[in-house]
Chains A and B, each alone.
Chain A
Amino acid sequence: MIIYLACIALLLIGIYCVAVKKNLIKIIIGLVIMEYAVNLFLVVLGYRRCGVDPIVLPGMAAKVCVDPMLQAMALSVIMIGLATTLLLVAIAMRIYERFGTFDITKIRNLKG
């Protein structure tokens, strides 16, 4: 139960960073924290009591395993998060080159 509250807390910290912080890099870090939260949630959902890792070698008796489908999902989400973070950082670097600052209150060319 505690670990699910930790996921929600991470999600809320991430939302706070994306909504309140004014530095571009801190917004990106907030987004990465939100993705950590959802990955943790996915993996923890698969926990079974007394579960072992889902690998069966010949000669082993089958035991209760944790859910492997969620681990595959979390792996895919981590790769997608990697691609998104790479693109965000590339855009942030270009913004610094064009605007000279990372402060979002000064990056307001598009208005109306």
Chain B
Amino acid sequence: MNGMSLIVKTVTRVTVGVIFVFGAYIAAHGHLTLGGGIAGGVIVALAYILYVLAYGRTEAEERLSRQRALAIMTLGALLFLALALAGYRQGYFMGNFLPTGEPGKLLSAGVIPFFNLAIMLFLGAGLFVVFLTFIAFRVEVKPEPGEEIEVGNK
């Protein structure tokens, strides 16, 4: 609950922002190079998880509380659905209705960068919420004096 030592906290404070920006970079350039929204979302979630591991759950929840992470996750999913439904303007369900620019530029390929953004929001916040749910679960097993705790063999 108190996090790790001072060295770990200092190094984390430096690197967690870099990891977050790296994840956003991979998500934003999904239509140009490898990666895309899925890989970018996982890396953004890892930035938050690193913060929880180094500083402890209470302080990490002050940065991004569980309720707000759930709201961002829902926002990502509904943004994806809204983009897919907006494709009806072009005629088809997930149709491309934004102009496709020249290949190689950041703002090109129509609606794909926005799909990547929606997936990044969904996965980044969603995996963080799942991690918080797992570590909030504590099972107290009090052994009798002299008895060993059995967790199964083989």
Chain A residues with CB under 8 Å of chain B are: 21-24, 26, 53, 55-58, 75, 79, 86, 89-90, 93, 96-97, 100-104, 106
Given contacts A79-B38, A89-B134, A93-B137, contact A55 B152 (CB under 8 A): no
DSSP majority for the B interface?
loop
Contacts of A58 in B (CB 8 A): 102-104
A97 to B153, CA, bound (A): 18
Q: Are A23 and B154 in contact (CB under 8 A)?
A: yes
Contact pick for B151, options A86, A89, A101, CB 8 Å: A101
- Tally inter-chain residue pairs, CB-CB below 8 A: 43
Interface 0/1 of B87-112, CB less than 8 Å to A: 00000000000000011100000000
Q: Are A22 and B153 in contact (CB under 8 A)?
A: yes
Q: Are A93 and B34 in contact (CB under 8 A)?
A: no
Chain B residues with CB under 8 Å of chain A are: 32-34, 38, 102-104, 130, 133-134, 137, 139, 141, 150-154
Contact pick for B139, options A57, A75, A97, A103, CB 8 Å: A97
Contacts of B103 in A (CB 8 A): 56-58
A53 to B34, CA, bound (A): 9
A21 to B139, CA, bound (A): 24
CB-based nearest B residue for A86: B130
